[in-house]
Amino acid sequence: MIREPLIFEISGKGKRAFSLPELDVPSREDILQGLPVRENIEGFPQVSEVEIIRHFTRLSKANYCVDEGFYPLGSCTMKYNPKINEKIAAISEFVLSHPYAPFDLVQGNLGILKTTEELMNEITGMDAFSFLPAAGAQGELVGMMLIRAYLEERGNPRKIVLIPDSAHGTNPSSAHICGYNIQEIESNEKGTIDISSLEQNMTEDVAALMITNPNTLGVFEADIKKISEIVHAKGGFVYMDGANMNALVGICRPGDMDVDVIHLNLHKTFSTPHGGGGPGSGPVGVKRELEPYLPLPTIKKSEDKYILDFDRPKSIGRVRSFFGNFLVVVKAMVYILSLGPRGLKEVSEIAVLNSNYVRKSLEKDYFLKYTTPTLHECVFSDKFQKKHGVQNIDIAKRLIDFGVHPPTMSFPLIVQGALMTEPTETESKRDLDLFIDAMKQISKEAKENPEIVKSAPHSSYVRRLDETSAARSPVLRWVEKK
Amino acid sequence: MSYTSLSDKDKKEMMSRVGISSMEELFRTIPEGMKLKRELKVPSALTEIELIHHFEKIAKQNKYSEFLSFLGAGAYPHVIPYVVDYLSSRGEFVTPYTPYQPEVSQGTLQAIFEFQTLICLLTGMDVANASLYDGASAAAEAVLMAHRLKQKSNVLVAKTLHPQYRKTIKTYVRNLDIKIEEFGFSETGEIDFESLSSKMDEGTSAVVCQSPNFLGVVEDIKKISDLAHSTKALSVVVVTEPVSLGLLEAPGKLGADIVTGEGQSFGIPLSFGGPYLGFMACLKEFIRQFPGRIAGETKDVDGKRGFVLTLSTREQHIRRERATSNICTNQALCALRATIFLETLGLDGLKELAWQNIQKANYALEKLTQVEGIKRKFHGNFFNEFVIEFSGSLPKVESSLREKGILGGLYLREFYPELENCSLLCVTEMFKREEIDRLVKSLEEALKE
Amino acid sequence: MYPDDFYYTKDHEWIQVKEDKATVGITDFAQKQLGDVVYVEMPKVGTQLEFHQSIGVIESVKAVSDIYSPVSGEVIEVNTDLNDSPELVNQDPHGKGWFIRLKIGDETEFEKLMSADDYEKFLEGIEE
């Protein structure tokens, strides 16, 4: 792989990659009077079109991606991104429509938002959805705001949100932005919420419990109805983080589990691409009770036409501009319609089969802190390998040499040295076996030749980047050398 | 259509290894009473051809493309060089995960580093992040950041900051100890300095303004920043139309402490409002309170240059409830588009783009004000948007224009009741002279009716 | 390994007393757990601290940890070397990597702390 310089390093005066048609109106200097005109944009690049194409083509080759191979990243649901979704989201009437267009001129777009809402209601058992949140974290924030608004209206927003110790980091940070203090609930020896811990902590000071189901260990919280009961009895709400929805599609529905509000990640369960870090979409679904508080605007049908509804006095207000990541919603709708009821159920069935196959194949090689049956993901740890000085991060780096992206390592915090593994339903047996064989091989190396694991990766272009000096003395942009 | 990849034989072998004889057994941990006893009531699966027909039919229900539209107001129609679509649709850019494992993500990380640099160059700031969701949530994050830095509750926000951005800020702060107060605009369309001064005090953490503002007027950022600094408050400048930075001085050189805004103009189509691209940049002394992902340069174990996500301890996956923001997934692919766009336009291209915008907009305003019944509302300098006022009934003018196939900008009555007969028009490089002339002629006719 | 004249807390801070003043830092075990330290956030001189109140935060590349005051007192000095050289915490946690110096508020609080022996036993009990 050729090392690719920064675009600024190959820039040169006189090179051009683009031109505009000539100005067809008179050009006037006097209109600049009184304006703070900049002399120059120092350092701004000048390259040719060929250089642009080569630069980005080469950079792209330095990226691993789903189109290339497997990403067993727990909680991320890195499934295949169907290409027909991309083609349809590129239809010009969708792409070139302005968000301030009068509603009667964009009925197609509004129809897509409303129809997808109805599809999500059916899939999740909730009563209404908002597609405004741009990502799961924003969805969580909105969900918590809805709860708070409801409680505030009744005189007391309460102070605390209960979060299991296995939760994803966005859960506490979202609750905090909402003005709540966090109280951690312990997991029991099965890895699920400890009911007595919940009972003890559920008071009238608690606004909500944030739960992920199945949880981040891949275990279904079978007591969810009892959990909801305990929370509801004291006037609190149950928020479900829908990041793990891939285990439940067509099998069971959060709405049927007495959950009050959920968010989904369209870039997880609903196949929209990750794009190297977005754009995603984190729609929020609610039961009737919380519907009046949904952010502005919602879509409704009025006399055969779709309209934007801003006349919602209880709404929490706007959480972003316009209507959400519309083109991402289009992709999710295409996906749902391409699968149909049978295909949707198959998603979860195969996701769970693939995960259990991986689990069964590796359970002797890697420590499973919790032996409880798991659904679409499971969490191994580096306990056996640690005896030889090999940690999860070393295993992760060594996997790169086998052409596989490492599993999730930064959580759940309740498993030390975690390797959270979620294959998703789109992986073939061959790719699963490649992963399994790689993991077995690494486990063997950890015993017989730990150095090769600890100094991995050996085959990637850059190896073991110095993250410490990147944080101690950050260099966050290119600077022109004078 | 299913995207699974198991053959019948594969499935049998796998089920055997797992030790099950039916798929139902996989879900034995879910209580029977909770399971769905029926199929989901969604339409039967459509094949690829059927999907295309289905969505083309839906697309035809949109009539917007039949109109000549002068809508702007936070979403701008600009040229997008074809290489942007071409390169950003490569699977290696569309389908990777967040670059937490730098050894396999150098493409994304280097592109982010270039994006951050470009934003710094344009805004005149030291540090930029890898993107936020959109301009509105970015403005809200900037307010939260100012509050963390100054530990003071009051934030003064210009009424000429985009109405949706102001609403978003209000929603984000509603559960925190932050008080938002708005200050108005003057006859010129710029902010009312007296109104701002009178509201500033020791408890102010930031002054938030937009430039060019929602009414299209370019603000005196230096004067605003000096005023903010006089009470030790931060100057937050929001830019919804960053093409303006191809011509106008960088806010960083005019005293801004935090610059944030909407990057949609940089290679992202109108998209009916999303996905868009929030950007934020700040001075280096504020880095620890800065939200969002950041890529940094470093060396690897063999001394080669590489890029990594850094300063992660500000973020949710580590700091959890004390994170600077809860943001996780951001808008990486949109930032990539912006990066390709800016690098393709290059220095001369961006300057030319900005030049054409201001020239065409000025030409349009000049011709429009020659029509009887149309007045230029604000005399402040503008970039590519301006407000005109109509004498006579605006709804009549609106519908007359509609009949002629024209959308005459954004009518401001629902945002500023005092601007009842006004419209905000946006004219970019995309408008041919004859299209602008057509607008003028149509309005002339409409006003005579 | 752990100096005899220091006292220790369950949160892995150490405190060394000289007359009515004390120096506070984190232990070797803590710095190993954290990994390479990149930043230390410290209180201002003059801050009044209570027993077990958060003094500040210590950041490594992958983790963040609160530092708690082992005893109550007033901050009289802060180790500004850590601003430019946070790696001192890793290199010399019991010496040059100190964080703050306190004027002790209440001597009896020392009864709540562990001796070097107790701390070493405590470490053995921690599951790895």
3-state SS track over chain B: CCCCECCHHHHHHHHHHHCCCCHHHHHCCCCHHHECCCCCCCCCCCCHHHHHHHHHHHHCCECHHHCEECCCCCCCCCCCCHHHHHHHCCHHHHCCCCCCCHHHEHHHHHHHHHHHHHHHHHHCCCEECCCECCHHHHHHHHHHHHHHHHCCCEEEEECCCCHHHHHHHHHHHCCCCCEEEEECECCCCCECHHHHHHHCCCCEEEEEEECCCCCCECCCHHHHHHHHHHCCCEEEEEECCHHHHHCECCHHHHCCCEEEEECCCCCCCCHHHCCCCEEEEECHHHHHHCCCCCEEEEECCCCCEEEEECCHHHCHHHHHHHCCCCCCCCCHHHHHHHHHHHHHHHHHHHHHHHHHHHHHHHHHHHHHHCCCCEEECCCCCECCEEEEEECCCHHHHHHHHHHCCEECCEEHHHCCHHHCCEEEEECCCCCCHHHHHHHHHHHHHHHHC
What is the C-alpha to C-alpha distance for residues A268 and A45, in angstroms, rounded to an integer?
A: 36
| Same domain, yes or no: B354 and B302 | no
Q: What is the mean pLDDT of residues B120-127?
A: 97
DSSP A78: -
Contact between B409 and B368 under an 8 Å Cβ cutoff? The reply is no
Contacts of A386 in chain C (CB under 8 A): 128
What is the C-alpha to C-alpha distance for residues A239 and A282, in angstroms, rounded to an integer?
A: 14
C127, pLDDT greater than 60: no
Q: Which of C35, C38, C62 sits opposite A472 (nearest CB)?
A: C38
| Same domain, yes or no: B328 and B285 | yes
Q: How far is C86 from chain B (nearest CA, A)?
A: 14
C86 contacts A386? CB cut-off 8 A: no
Contact between C38 and C62 under an 8 Å Cβ cutoff? The reply is no
Exposure b/e, A150-163, CB count within 10 A at least 16 = b? bbbeeeebbebbbb
All structural domains of chain A, each given as residue ranges with its CATH number in brackets, are 84-337 (3.40.640.10), 341-468 (3.90.1150.10)
- Which of B289, B324, B341 is the last residue in one of the domains? B341
C64 contacts B318? CB cut-off 8 A: yes
Q: How far is C39 from chain A (nearest CA, A)?
A: 7
Distance from CA of residue B241 to its chain's centroid? Answer: 9
What is the C-alpha to C-alpha distance for residues A397 and B301, in angstroms, rounded to an integer?
A: 13
Domain boundaries, chain C: 6-125
Interface of C with A in 47-66 (CB under 8 A): 59, 61-62
Query: Kind and range of the H or E element at C18?
Result: strand C13-18
Q: What is the pLDDT of residue B89?
A: 97
Q: What is the mean pLDDT of residues C8-18?
A: 91
Among all residues of chain A, which has the CA nearest to that of C34?
A468
What is the C-alpha to C-alpha distance for residues A330 and A340, in angstroms, rounded to an integer?
A: 16
DSSP reduced 3-state for C41: strand
C63 contacts B318? CB cut-off 8 A: yes
Contact between B99 and B105 under an 8 Å Cβ cutoff? The reply is yes
Helices (H), A36-82: 49-60
CB pairs A-C closer than 8 Å? 19
Q: What is the pLDDT of residue A2?
A: 54
Contacts of C86 in chain A (CB under 8 A): 472
Residue type, B97: Y
Which CA distances in Å does A185 have to A138, A162, A164, A200, B402?
Answer: 23, 6, 5, 10, 59
Interface of A with B in 183-212 (CB under 8 A): none
Contacts of B319 in chain C (CB under 8 A): 64
What is the C-alpha to C-alpha distance for residues A41 and A37, in angstroms, rounded to an integer?
A: 11
Contacts of C61 in chain B (CB under 8 A): 312-313
Structural domain count, chain B: 2
Q: How far is A468 from chain C (nearest CA, A)?
A: 6
DSSP reduced 3-state for A447: helix
Q: What is the pLDDT of residue B174?
A: 87
| Same domain, yes or no: B228 and B95 | yes
A471 contacts C38? CB cut-off 8 A: yes
| Same domain, yes or no: B420 and B293 | no
Which CA distances in Å does B46 have to A329, B36, B41, B52?
Answer: 18, 23, 14, 9
Q: How far is B340 from chain A (nearest CA, A)?
A: 7
Pick from A336, A389, A427, A418: which is nearest to A68 by CA? A427
What is the C-alpha to C-alpha distance for residues A93 and B395, in angstroms, rounded to an integer?
A: 26
Q: How far is A158 from chain B (nearest CA, A)?
A: 12
Q: How far is C63 from chain B (nearest CA, A)?
A: 6
B29 contacts A88? CB cut-off 8 A: no
Which domain does B322 fall in, by range?
Answer: 82-341
C128 contacts A471? CB cut-off 8 A: no
Q: How far is B397 from chain A (nearest CA, A)?
A: 15
Q: Which of A173, A396, A462 sits opposite B316 (nearest CB)?
A: A173
Q: How far is A392 from chain C (nearest CA, A)?
A: 14
Q: What is the pLDDT of residue A245?
A: 96
Q: What is the pLDDT of residue A189?
A: 87
B288 contacts C60? CB cut-off 8 A: no
| Same domain, yes or no: B130 and B232 | yes
Q: How far is B223 from chain A (nearest CA, A)?
A: 12
| Same domain, yes or no: B262 and B179 | yes
B316, pLDDT greater than 70: no
Q: What is the pLDDT of residue A170?
A: 78
Among all residues of chain A, which has the CA nearest to that of C85?
A472
What is the C-alpha to C-alpha distance for residues A98 and A114, in angstroms, rounded to an integer?
A: 18
Dihedral in degrees, nearest 10, Cα atoms C88, C92, C97, C101: -160
Q: What digits encode the pLDDT tens for the residues B243-296?
A: 999 999 999 999 999 999 999 999 999 999 999 999 999 999 999 889 999 999
What number of CA atoms fall less than 13 Å from residue C31's CA on the CB side? Answer: 23
| Same domain, yes or no: B318 and B383 | no
Contacts of A470 in chain C (CB under 8 A): 61
Q: What is the pLDDT of residue B207?
A: 98
Q: Is the dihedral of CA B41, B45, B49, B51 positive or negative?
A: positive
DSSP reduced 3-state for C25: strand
In the block, which residue shows the tokens 């129609």? Answer: B77
Question: Which tokens belong to A323?
Answer: 């209507």
C62 contacts B318? CB cut-off 8 A: yes
Length of chain B: 449
Q: What is the mean pLDDT of residues B323-341?
A: 86
Contacts of A251 in chain B (CB under 8 A): 27, 30, 35-36
Among all residues of chain B, which has the CA nearest to that of A478?
B117
B318 contacts C38? CB cut-off 8 A: no
**Please, what are the averages of pLDDT over each run of 10 residues along chain A (482 residues)?**
85 95 95 93 96 97 94 93 97 98 97 98 98 93 96 95 86 85 89 92 96 93 95 97 96 96 96 95 97 96 93 96 97 98 97 97 94 94 93 93 88 82 96 96 96 92 90 92 76
A467 contacts C39? CB cut-off 8 A: no
Chains that touch B (3 or more CB pairs under 8 A): A, C
Residue B167 near chain C (CB below 8 Å): no
Among all residues of chain B, which has the CA nearest to that of C58?
B313
Interface of A with B in 15-44 (CB under 8 A): 15-20, 23-28, 31-38, 40-44
Residue C86 near chain A (CB below 8 Å): yes
Contacts of A428 in chain B (CB under 8 A): 5-6, 10
| Same domain, yes or no: B328 and B356 | no
Among all residues of chain C, which has the CA nearest to that of A417?
C128
| Same domain, yes or no: B388 and B307 | no
- Which of B309, B341, B373 is the last residue in one of the domains? B341
CB pairs A-B closer than 8 Å? 661
Contacts of A104 in chain B (CB under 8 A): 63
| Same domain, yes or no: B310 and B360 | no
CATH number for the domain spanning B395: value is 3.90.1150.10
Q: Which of B5, B59, B310 sits opposite A467 (nearest CB)?
A: B310
Residue type, A261: V
In the block, which residue shows the tokens 């047996």? Answer: A429
Interface of C with A in 29-48 (CB under 8 A): 35-36, 38-39
Question: Which tokens belong to A388?
Answer: 């030889």
Q: What is the pLDDT of residue C61?
A: 82
What is the C-alpha to C-alpha distance for residues A90 and B2, in angstroms, rounded to an integer?
A: 22
Q: How far is B237 from chain A (nearest CA, A)?
A: 15
Contacts of A326 in chain B (CB under 8 A): 271-275
Residue B298 near chain C (CB below 8 Å): no
Fold (CATH) for C6-125: OB fold (Dihydrolipoamide Acetyltransferase, E2P) (2.40.50)
A320 contacts B65? CB cut-off 8 A: no
Question: Which tokens belong to B83?
Answer: 């290489």
Contact between B104 and A401 under an 8 Å Cβ cutoff? The reply is no
Q: How far is A387 from chain B (nearest CA, A)?
A: 25
C87 contacts A471? CB cut-off 8 A: no
In the block, which residue shows the tokens 């590129």? Answer: A90
Q: What digits encode the pLDDT tens for the residues C73-103?
A: 999 999 999 988 999 999 999 999 999 999 9
A410 contacts C62? CB cut-off 8 A: yes
| Same domain, yes or no: B232 and B378 | no
Q: Which residues pair with A184 in a beta bridge?
A: A163
What is the C-alpha to C-alpha distance for residues A268 and A282, in angstroms, rounded to an integer?
A: 10
User: ipTM of the predicted structure?
Assistant: 0.96
**Largest pairwise CA distance in chain B:** 84
| Same domain, yes or no: B427 and B326 | no
Contact between B212 and B244 under an 8 Å Cβ cutoff? The reply is yes
Question: Which tokens belong to A237?
Answer: 């709400």
- Which of B295, B310, B341 is the last residue in one of the domains? B341
Which strands form A378-381's sheet, in the order they lie side by side?
A: A367-368, A378-381, A418-421
A472 contacts C87? CB cut-off 8 A: yes
Chains that touch A (3 or more CB pairs under 8 A): B, C
Among all residues of chain A, which has the CA nearest to that of C86?
A472
